[in-house]
């Protein structure tokens, strides 16, 4: 099997790179073993929420990028460079719009998403279904009705209401019950967002919901509902809002993330529709190198039939997706044994205080300035690395996980396509 580019890992980064490449007529395959971080997606992509030294919350990522580069020269954004960072952030926004992923936000100003516990967190792009606030102290409305489904435990509106009340927002909570949900209600482990949406997305239920929402939210400007609507399409929520005559927004629930799964499926479908080949449930096991190039890779399902490509992208994610593995005293990359940045002293890997900075978050595959993987300190000329598996950044402390995945995916795709850079 021969391709222009073979991508290992079909999470956010691998899929974005794949779509970018097939849209330029590349023959492209993505091999992906399992679920990705998108299954736990909050609904918002973070670009840069805090500088690495923790000194300040970032308001405008495009303004702070030069400070980040000074503080963290090994950060993936530093490898991209300040001007190119601004360019790729904009291109990421355009890319999502082009492939019909609707969002709110811009790299020029962080807005605030609202967490399932009612905290306001800075972020870059939030899917259009979700409730956001332009400032940290209060959203633009003064009254809200929060609806929950009776017996649904993955959403606790009381926490959110407490937070809104402190801001002076008049908040009502309503529990709703629909006989159509009784069948899945019998088994608590089935009473989860993904199963609920299968029922709630039905057109006849949409009409019932619209009636209930309208009747009970007379005193509220907006309606909030747990993220259990709109699995098949992002048109369901705007249509419901139209029926009621006021905005209905979603709030994230505990995982699994319905919108994350929807986003992943959308990206997969788009990739396939554009001519890409997707090998799901297969695991890349090894590769063969000649001089400084990777020539072929082998997967679990295809045994000794190699996948040959001109270029490869490793987008296998971090520890969470087993793109990186930690054993008792070292951290390694399991497919090619690439060079990995990690501390040899195990006690430095993590801080026992869960809320402190965790050093292991910065561990990852070492690359040169073009995101070419390093093996025994030498770049592999045609093996690029993108997304969470990269070294040099802390997605939690800096709030930059989604941004690194998107920007590095577009960056390596442009390098493969030989597009002139403005670094
Ligand atoms: C639980 C969790 C939640 C997060 N939520 C957010 C969020 O809400 N917003 C945000 O901005 N950032 C978030 N992040 C940061 C996140 O890392 C990025 O946003 C991004 O989704 C990572 O994408 P990725 O494609 O690099 O890796 P992943 O999403 O981890 O995907 C890697 C894929 O590679 C596959 N794979 C691994 N090894 C192999 C192999 N040998 N062969 C074949 N396939 C392989 C895996 O099965 C997986 O599908 C979150 C991270 C985690 C861990």
- Whether omega for the bond prior to residue 47 falls within 30 degrees of 0, making it cis, is no
User: What is the average pLDDT across 26-44?
Assistant: 96
* DSSP E strand stretches across 231-299: 248-251, 277-280, 284-290, 293-299
Q: Is the distance from CB of 380 to CB of 289 less than 8 angstroms?
A: yes
Q: Which of 19-23, 204-208, 267-271, 272-276 has the lowest mean pLDDT?
A: 204-208
Local confidence band at 420 (pLDDT 50, 70, 90 cut-offs): very low
| End residue of a domain, out of 251, 276, 311 | 251
By alpha-carbon position, which residue is closest to atom 27 of ligand 1? 317
| End residue of a domain, out of 194, 221, 251 | 251
By alpha-carbon position, which residue is closest to atom 48 of ligand 1? 36
Number of Cβ within 10 Å of residue 153's Cβ equals 12
Q: Is the pLDDT score of 259 beyond 50?
A: yes
CB-based contacts of 204, cutoff 8 Å, min separation 6: none
> What confidence tens digit (pLDDT) does each residue in 359-377 have?
989 999 999 999 999 999 9
| DSSP symbol at 283 | -
Closest of 275, 418, 368, 391 to residue 79, by C-alpha: 368
Tell me how long the chain is: 423
268 and 405 fall within a common domain: yes
246 and 278 fall within a common domain: no
Distance 244 CA to ligand 1 centre (A): 37
Q: Is the distance from CB of 124 to CB of 403 less than 8 angstroms?
A: yes
DSSP string, 118-146: S-EEEESEEETTB-EESSSS--S-SEEEE
Please indicate, yes or no, if residue 107 is contained in any of the structural domains: no
Tell how far CA 49 is from the center of its chain: 15
Give pLDDT, residue 309: 98
Give pLDDT, residue 421: 44
Question: Alpha-carbon torsion 354, 355, 356, 359, what sign?
Answer: positive
329 and 374 fall within a common domain: yes
| DSSP symbol at 279 | E
Distances (CA, A) of 127 to 32, 78, 117, 287, 409: 24, 27, 19, 37, 20
186 and 83 fall within a common domain: no
Q: Mean of the per-residue pLDDT values for the chain?
A: 94
181 and 305 fall within a common domain: no
CATH number of the domain to which 246 belongs: 3.40.50
234 and 271 fall within a common domain: no
Element (H, E) at 402: helix 401-416
Number of domains making up the chain: 2
Distance CA 396, CA 392 (A): 13
- Structural domain boundaries enclosing 61: 2-101+261-416
Give pLDDT, residue 290: 97
Q: Is the distance from CB of 332 to CB of 313 less than 8 angstroms?
A: no
12 and 72 fall within a common domain: yes
Please indicate, yes or no, if residue 371 is contained in any of the structural domains: yes
Please indicate, yes or no, if residue 214 is contained in any of the structural domains: yes
Give pLDDT, residue 419: 64
By alpha-carbon position, which residue is closest to atom 47 of ligand 1? 34
**Ligand 1 pocket: which of 41, 121, 283, 316 to mutate (most atoms within 8 A of CB):** 316
Helices of type H across 274-343? none
147 and 222 fall within a common domain: yes
User: Which amino acids bring their CB within 6 angstroms of ligand 1?
Assistant: 8-14, 31-34, 36-38, 40-42, 44-46, 283-284, 315-317, 320-323, 335, 387-388, 395, 401-402, 405
Distance 345 CA to ligand 1 centre (A): 26
∠ CA 39-41-45, rounded to 5°: 140
Please indicate, yes or no, if residue 124 is contained in any of the structural domains: no
Distances (CA, A) of 212 to 174, 196, 252: 10, 17, 21
Give pLDDT, residue 95: 98
Residue that is written with structure tokens 């007529």 in the block: 25
Give pLDDT, residue 232: 79
Please indicate, yes or no, if residue 113 is contained in any of the structural domains: no
> What confidence tens digit (pLDDT) does each residue in 264-321 have?
999 999 999 999 999 999 999 999 999 999 999 999 999 999 999 999 999 999 999 9
Question: Alpha-carbon torsion 374, 376, 381, 383, what sign?
Answer: negative
319 and 405 fall within a common domain: yes
Please indicate, yes or no, if residue 286 is contained in any of the structural domains: yes
Please indicate, yes or no, if residue 108 is contained in any of the structural domains: no
| End residue of a domain, out of 218, 251, 284 | 251
83 and 203 fall within a common domain: no
Distance CA 142, CA 133 (A): 12
Give pLDDT, residue 157: 94
∠ CA 69-70-72, rounded to 5°: 65
* Dihedrals phi, psi of 172, to nearest 5 degrees: -115, 140
270 and 406 fall within a common domain: yes
By alpha-carbon position, which residue is closest to atom 39 of ligand 1? 316
Residue 307, strand partner residues: 297
Local confidence band at 355 (pLDDT 50, 70, 90 cut-offs): confident
Q: Is the distance from CB of 416 to CB of 21 less than 8 angstroms?
A: yes
> What confidence tens digit (pLDDT) does each residue in 57-113 have?
999 999 999 999 999 999 999 999 999 999 999 999 999 999 999 999 999 999 999
Closest ligand 1 atom to Cα of 399? 11
Long-range contacts of 334-338 (CB under 8 A, 24+ apart): 335/8, 335/284, 335/285, 335/286, 335/287, 335/297, 336/286, 336/287, 336/289, 336/294, 336/373, 336/375, 336/380, 336/383, 337/375, 338/314, 338/365, 338/366, 338/373, 338/374, 338/375, 338/380, 338/383, 338/385
Closest ligand 1 atom to Cα of 282? 43
CATH number of the domain to which 70 belongs: 3.50.50.60
Distance 13 CA to ligand 1 centre (A): 8
> Percent of the chain having pLDDT more than 70?
99
285 and 401 fall within a common domain: yes
By alpha-carbon position, which residue is closest to atom 22 of ligand 1? 388
Q: Is the distance from CB of 115 to CB of 42 less than 8 angstroms?
A: yes
> Percent of the chain having pLDDT more than 90?
84
């Amino acid at each position: 099997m021969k391709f222009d580019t073979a991508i290992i890992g079909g999470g956010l980064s691998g899929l974005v790179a794949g779509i970018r490449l097939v849209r330029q007529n590349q023959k492209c395959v993505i091999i992906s073993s399992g679920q990705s971080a998108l299954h736990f997606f909050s609904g918002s992509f973070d670009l840069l929420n805090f500088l690495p030294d923790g000194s300040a919350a970032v308001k405008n990522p495009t303004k702070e990028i030069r400070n980040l580069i000074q503080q963290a020269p090994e950060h993936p954004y530093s490898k991209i460079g300040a001007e190119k960072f601004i360019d790729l952030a904009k291109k990421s926004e355009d890319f999502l719009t082009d492939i019909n992923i609707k969002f709110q936000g811009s790299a020029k100003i962080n807005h605030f998403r609202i967490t399932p516990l009612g905290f306001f967190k800075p972020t870059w792009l939030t899917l259009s279904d979700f409730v956001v606030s332009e400032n940290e102290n209060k959203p633009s409305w003064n009254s809200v009705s929060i609806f929950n489904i009776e017996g649904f435990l993955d959403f606790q509106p009381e926490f959110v209401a407490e937070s809104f009340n402190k801001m002076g927002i008049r908040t009502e909570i309503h529990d709703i019950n629909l006989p159509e949900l009784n069948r899945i209600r019998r088994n608590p482990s089935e009473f989860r967002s993904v199963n609920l949406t299968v029922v709630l997305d039905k057109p006849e239920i949409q009409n019932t919901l619209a009636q209930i929402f309208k009747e009970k939210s007379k005193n509220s400007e907006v309606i909030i509902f747990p993220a259990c609507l709109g699995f098949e399409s992002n048109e369901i929520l705007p249509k419901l809002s139209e029926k009621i005559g006021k905005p209905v927004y979603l709030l994230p629930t505990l995982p699994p993330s319905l919108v994350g799964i929807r986003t992943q499926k959308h990206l997969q479908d788009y990739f396939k529709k554009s001519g890409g080949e997707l090998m799901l449930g297969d695991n890349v096991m090894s590769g063969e190198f000649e001089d400084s190039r990777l020539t072929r890779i082998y997967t679990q399902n295809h045994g000794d039939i190699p996948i040959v490509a001109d270029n490869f992208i490793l987008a296998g994610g971090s520890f969470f997706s087993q793109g990186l593995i930690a054993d008792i005293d070292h951290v390694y990359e399991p497919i090619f044994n690439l060079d990995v940045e990690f501390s040899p002293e195990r006690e430095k890997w993590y801080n026992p205080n869960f809320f402190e900075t965790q050093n292991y978050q910065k561990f990852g595959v070492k690359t040169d300035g073009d995101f070419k993987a390093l093996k025994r300190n030498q770049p592999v000329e045609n093996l690029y690395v993108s997304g969470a598996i990269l070294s040099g950044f802390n997605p939690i402390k800096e709030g930059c996980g989604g941004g690194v995945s998107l920007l590095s995916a577009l960056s390596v795709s442009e390098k493969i396509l030989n597009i002139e850079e403005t670094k």
